[in-house]
């Protein structure tokens, strides 16, 4: 995925960000890059070799045209042309400097990484849900909830006597920075769905391409959002037919953004006015039926 802050080592990404800033709002820029990367099957914008022009003239051009029109798309690519052509002439193989070759291994030991106050819940590969079972009829407490470390995927324990699901377990995408709410929601769902934390718009769009046969719900947590509601409204056409949307703990600004959006964009969104996780779980369960 494109870095939120392109570096000097990513001149194509940096130039693209600067070009888009002049013609599009941030949510539209995010949507353009997300769609282009998804269509290209890439995790990041190519920075060297013929892949640069292939990406720009194919997936990126189509995403630009869809979002901001053909004329503006052509203007953006014309502005980027010198950077794209220079990058395309660079070898796809990363050069190794003489300093790197001569430096002793021990001199390149990585600096210690400080312990973060909030650990990202997204792994680098699609996580497999972890299901735990009990011998009695009691569900585990949230503290004992099953989670694959660092995955952000939770599945509440179920009694061993529960029948096996007939199809893929439904998925609840939870756009929140409240990790405890994610675990508690999975516990409240009682094994009726997998709860998967998504930390941003790009991650959500990627996740929607996985498990297409499973029923999906997206919960937007207005209290501790990882995706801003105005940003999601911008890409709402991308979600049509792919997931239901539930808005939870929304503030006045969020409600105003929803009210001012085109009626066909948010008319099917579900508002959960209660702050209770148990009631939120009930809303999810009813929506998934």
Shared domain for 282 and 154, answered yes or no, is: yes
The total domain count for the chain is 2
Shared domain for 247 and 181, answered yes or no, is: yes
pLDDT for 152 equals: 56
Shared domain for 53 and 142, answered yes or no, is: no
- From 89, 114, 148, the end of a domain falls on 89
Q: Is residue 5 part of a domain?
A: no
pLDDT for 166 equals: 60
Q: Is residue 209 part of a domain?
A: yes
pTM over 0.75: no
Nearest to 158 by CA among 123, 189, 190: 190
Q: Domain span at residue 42?
A: 11-89
Q: Is residue 247 part of a domain?
A: yes
- From 72, 89, 106, the end of a domain falls on 89
Q: What's the CA gap between 31 and 113, in Å, rounded?
A: 31
- From 89, 106, 121, the end of a domain falls on 89
The 10s digit of each residue's pLDDT in 160-216 is 334 545 668 899 999 998 888 888 898 888 888 899 999 888 888 888 888 788 899
Q: Is residue 189 part of a domain?
A: yes
Q: What's the CA gap between 223 and 136, in Å, rounded?
A: 35
The 10s digit of each residue's pLDDT in 37-77 is 888 888 788 888 899 999 999 999 998 988 888 888 898 99
Residues 6+ apart with CB under 8 A from 50: 88, 92
Q: Is residue 187 part of a domain?
A: yes
Residue for token pair 């995790």? 43
Shared domain for 159 and 276, answered yes or no, is: yes
Shared domain for 65 and 196, answered yes or no, is: no
Q: Is residue 2 part of a domain?
A: no
Q: What's the CA gap between 54 and 115, in Å, rounded?
A: 40
Q: Is residue 36 part of a domain?
A: yes
Q: Is residue 98 part of a domain?
A: no
% of the chain at pLDDT higher than 70 = 70
Query: What's 238's domain CATH number?
Result: 3.40.50.2300
Shared domain for 150 and 273, answered yes or no, is: yes
């Amino acid at each position: 995925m494109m870095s939120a802050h392109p570096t000097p080592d990513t001149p194509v990404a940096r130039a693209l960000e600067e070009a888009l800033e002049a013609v599009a709002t941030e949510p539209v820029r995010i949507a353009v890059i997300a769609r282009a990367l998804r269509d290209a099957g890439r995790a990041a914008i190519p920075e060297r070799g013929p892949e640069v022009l292939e990406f720009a003239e194919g997936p990126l051009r189509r995403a630009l045209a869809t979002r901001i029109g053909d004329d503006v798309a052509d203007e953006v690519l014309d502005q980027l042309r010198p950077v794209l052509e220079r990058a395309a002439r660079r070898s796809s193989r990363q050069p190794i400097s003489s300093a790197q070759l001569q430096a002793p291994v021990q001199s390149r030991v990585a600096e210690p990484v400080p312990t973060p106050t909030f650990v990202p819940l997204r792994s680098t590969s699609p996580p497999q849900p972890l299901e735990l079972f009990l011998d009695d009829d009691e569900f585990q407490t949230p503290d004992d909830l099953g989670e694959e470390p660092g995955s952000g995927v939770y599945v509440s324990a179920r009694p061993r006597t529960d029948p096996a699901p007939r199809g893929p377990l439904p998925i609840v995408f939870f756009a929140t920075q409240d990790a405890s709410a994610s675990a508690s929601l999975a516990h409240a769902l009682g094994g009726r769905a997998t709860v998967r934390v998504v930390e941003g718009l790009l991650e959500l769009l990627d996740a929607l391409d996985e498990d297409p046969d499973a029923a999906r719900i997206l919960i937007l947590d207005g209290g501790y959002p990882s995706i801003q509601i105005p940003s999601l409204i911008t890409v709402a056409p991308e979600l049509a037919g792919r997931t239901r949307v539930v808005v939870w703990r929304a503030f006045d600004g969020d409600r105003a953004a929803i009210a001012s959006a085109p009626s066909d964009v948010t008319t099917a969104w579900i508002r959960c006015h209660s702050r209770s996780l148990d009631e939120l779980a009930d809303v999810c369960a009813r929506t998934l039926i």
